[in-house]
Chains A and B, each alone.
Chain A
Amino acid sequence: MTQKSSECRTITIGTIEIPLKLSAIYKKICEWHLDKFEKKYLLGAPKEAIKIISQKLGVASKGVEPEKMIGAVNESVLKTVPPLKIFTTNYNVAITDFVINNETKQKKFGIGWSISKEMEINSIKIANKIGPIQIDGVALLVEVTPKDNADEQNNV
Chain B
Amino acid sequence: MNYDMTYGATAYLTFDKRQIALTAEDIKKPVFIYHAESFNSAVSLGTLENAIPRIGGKVGNILGDKGADNKYELENKIRKEIESVQKIEFVGPAVQVILGNDLVITDFVINTQDKVYEFGLGLRFIDQTTGESKYKLGPVSFDGISVLVKAREK
Contacts and interface: CB of A to CB of B under 8 A. Distances in A.
Report whether chain A binds chain B: yes
A151 B62 CA distance: 52
A33 B20 CA distance: 11
Interface residues on B, range: 20 to 34
Contacts, number: 133
Contact of A147 (B3, B14, B153): B3
Given A133-B117, A136-B13, A139-B10, A68 B5 contact: yes
Interface residues of A, number: 48
A133 B58 contact: yes
Given A80-B112, A80-B113, A134 B5 contact: no
Contacts of A121: none
A17 interface: no
A142 B7 contact: yes
Interface stretch (B23-31, B92-100, B142-150): B23-31
B5 A81 contact: no
A77 to B, nearest CB: 6
Nearest to A65: B5
Interface of A: 33-37, 59, 61-64, 68-69, 72-73, 76-77, 80-81, 83-84, 96-97, 110, 112, 114, 129-148, 151-153
